[in-house]
A and B are shown apart, each in its own frame.
Chain A
Amino acid sequence: MRELEKTFQVPIGPVHPALKEPIRFTFQVEGERIVGVDIKPGFAHRGIEFMGTKRNLIQVLYLSERICGICSISHPIALTQAVENAAGIEVPPRAQYIRVIVSELERIHSHLLWAGVAAHELGFDTLLHLTWKVREKVMDILEEITGNRVDYAIPIFGGVRRDITPEQYPQVQDMLRYYRGLFEELAERFLRDASVEARTRDVGVLTPEEAEALSAVGPTARASGLRKDVRQDWPYLVYGDLGIKAITPEDYGTETRGDVYDRVIVRLLEVAQSMDIIERCLEDMPAGEITSIPKVPALLAQLKKAEGEGIGRHEAPRGEVIHYIRLEAGKEEPVVWKVKAPTYSNLMSWVPMFRDQEIADIPIIAASIDPCMCCMDRVHLVRAGRDELVWKEKLLALSREKTKRIQSRVTASGPRVTALSPRSADHGGEA
């Protein structure tokens, strides 16, 4: 009798309804059990570091903000620090506080966004709608303070671009009251709900040893019990004054298991922690200048003269962001710019998390590290079993061809709706 093959390959992605951004997982499964996974990122790689070395530093700052839409202040926070270290630019105290406040507002919105996505991946859409409804409050405050819901354009080399005005303080305090009033309810829905617990307890486990060996970062590392948080370990801006402590599930009073449930605990507690930080900052923030070099041409001139290298780091909602920059006198553009986003460090954590799990848990485990594929350009095709590169020109030509094809089919087939006017005339006088 022919021996049956035991292990099968299940590809998920690069584009798949269970994923929010493109990435390809190739799972090895035996029945419902996952025995191995191969991960291939890069489907959204845009070559941003390469582009950065062709542009002046202020343009690079705007580019860095567009690396990621969700944590769109994290990259500018790290980049401005790297450049300020390299060029010896001071940041006024008030500007440091404003950077921290906006970063923590971002953490609140990002963690709530994640909690909604996690609820959705569990099939609990009521909870998704509740979480995203309450997330709107912090989005309103971000819009009020920065002018935008995403891409806030707040940090600039030497300070920030907008102040927080006295009229805005009560609005922020009102937001803090709103979330504090809701916190118990959110904790009840996420942490004391039997179905959430059943789907997340002991699912997608990452042990502390694995998290350490794989250099995991952010809530992914902390949920495995590592007290690793750039704000605590390597103080920058005013975080050193605030006495930040990395949060692990033990702070909730439970034993650390490193599963998806623990990742929910850590993120929810961090929302509360961010609220405390914002409140402290509003109280402590001194009056004064918000930037040390207000005129952009003067700033550009000073940056052009700068020579040196620097590192900037930031604890983004998903973990450590690091930027390395090297400047040469006489050049407006950086000579070297290296960016690392948190998902880059957490990518390998997926391998142990997926081991021995069930196919049905793939979406929630994949979502549990809060992945953000802020990676690169180029389109990558697999045709007849082999990889093939397709550049932008070809893609555009293909998409135009497809549109023409669809158009000709649409005009050819049957009657089309030309107007949406009510047919009241046919019913004579009823109106």
Chain B
Amino acid sequence: MKAQHVLAALKEALGDHLRDPEIRTRTVGVKSPQTMEEIWGKIDRDVLLQAAQTLKDLGPLHISIISGADLGEEIELLYHFTVGYGTEGGEVLVTLRFTIPKSDLTVPSLCGIIPGAETTEREKIEFLGVAFQGIPDSRHLFLPEDMEVHPWRKDEPELEKLVRRTVKWEERDA
């Protein structure tokens, strides 16, 4: 599968909802170097499911992970998908990102399209406080159920206190 082909399909399906799409390249190999291409783009959260369905229609779809970052007023989510595994050099890495305001952290769940996204979505619930609409199970996964702080958020006063306390305690014990 070629990155251009995937990008064209995404453009056609999402129209203006796909912004700043780009194909990043890297050269790999020593004896017979080849150029590998990756797709990066911004989307609106409303078209996330449509984007995933478009990718799924192109070939076997795999979700590697959802990355996330606290940008201050907003939370950014990056969905790292791959399309078309099973052929030599035929897999295209697609990263789609969007930001959501902290006042409304709801995102549609991908589990209806890729059930395997549940683990990574549950991780985003506990680490960033994002809510996924339609996720079959929204309990904490890696963290205890009664842990109220979201460790990747930068606006958690309790987390800050906890880290300071632990560092101080570690120094004392060293």
Contacts and interface: CB of A to CB of B under 8 A. Distances in A.
B31 interface: yes
Given A324-B80, A348-B118, A238 B30 contact: yes
A338 B142 contact: no
B147 interface: yes
A232 interface: yes
Nearest to A349: B116
Interface residues of B, number: 51
Interface of A, secondary structure class, is mixed
B23 interface: no
B26 A233 contact: no
B32 A240 contact: yes
Given A233-B89, A311-B38, A348-B118, A392 B31 contact: no
A228 B62 contact: yes
Interface string A389-405: 10111001000000000
Given A240-B32, A284-B31, A392-B166, A378 B144 contact: yes
B65 A324 contact: yes
A241 B80 contact: no
Interface stretch (A152-160, A170-178, A210-218): A210-218
A335 B82 contact: no
Given A234-B82, A234-B93, A322-B64, A393 B28 contact: no
A237 B115 contact: no
Contacts of B144: 42, 378, 380, 387-389
Given A233-B82, A388-B146, A340 B65 contact: yes
Interface residues of A, number: 63
A380 B147 CA distance: 10
Given A235-B29, A311-B95, A42 B143 contact: yes
B143 A322 contact: no
Nearest to A54: B163
Interface in B146-171: 146-147, 151-152, 162, 166, 169
A47 B151 contact: yes
Contacts of B118: 348
A344 interface: yes
B119 A40 contact: no
Contacts of B140: 42
A215 B62 CA distance: 5
Contacts of A245: 88
Contact of A214 (B29, B88, B116, B147): B116
Query: Among B26, B93, B144, which residue has the most Cβ atoms of chain A within 10 A?
Result: B144
Contacts of B85: 226-228, 233-234
B65 to A, nearest CB: 4
Contacts of A392: 166, 169
Interface of B: 26, 28-32, 34, 36, 38, 60, 62-65, 67-69, 78, 80, 82, 84-91, 93, 95, 114-120, 140-147, 151-152, 162, 166, 169, 173
Given A240-B34, A322-B80, A344-B120, 6 more contacts: A42-B143, A233-B82, A238-B31, A240-B89, A324-B80, A345-B64
Interface of A: 40-42, 45, 47, 49-50, 85, 93, 96-97, 212-217, 226-228, 230, 232-241, 243-246, 284, 286, 311, 313, 320, 322, 324, 326, 335-336, 338, 340, 344-345, 347-348, 375-376, 378, 380, 386-389, 391-393, 396
Q: Nearest 7 A-B pairs (CB), nearest first?
A: A215-B116, A42-B142, A233-B91, A338-B67, A214-B116, A340-B65, A240-B29
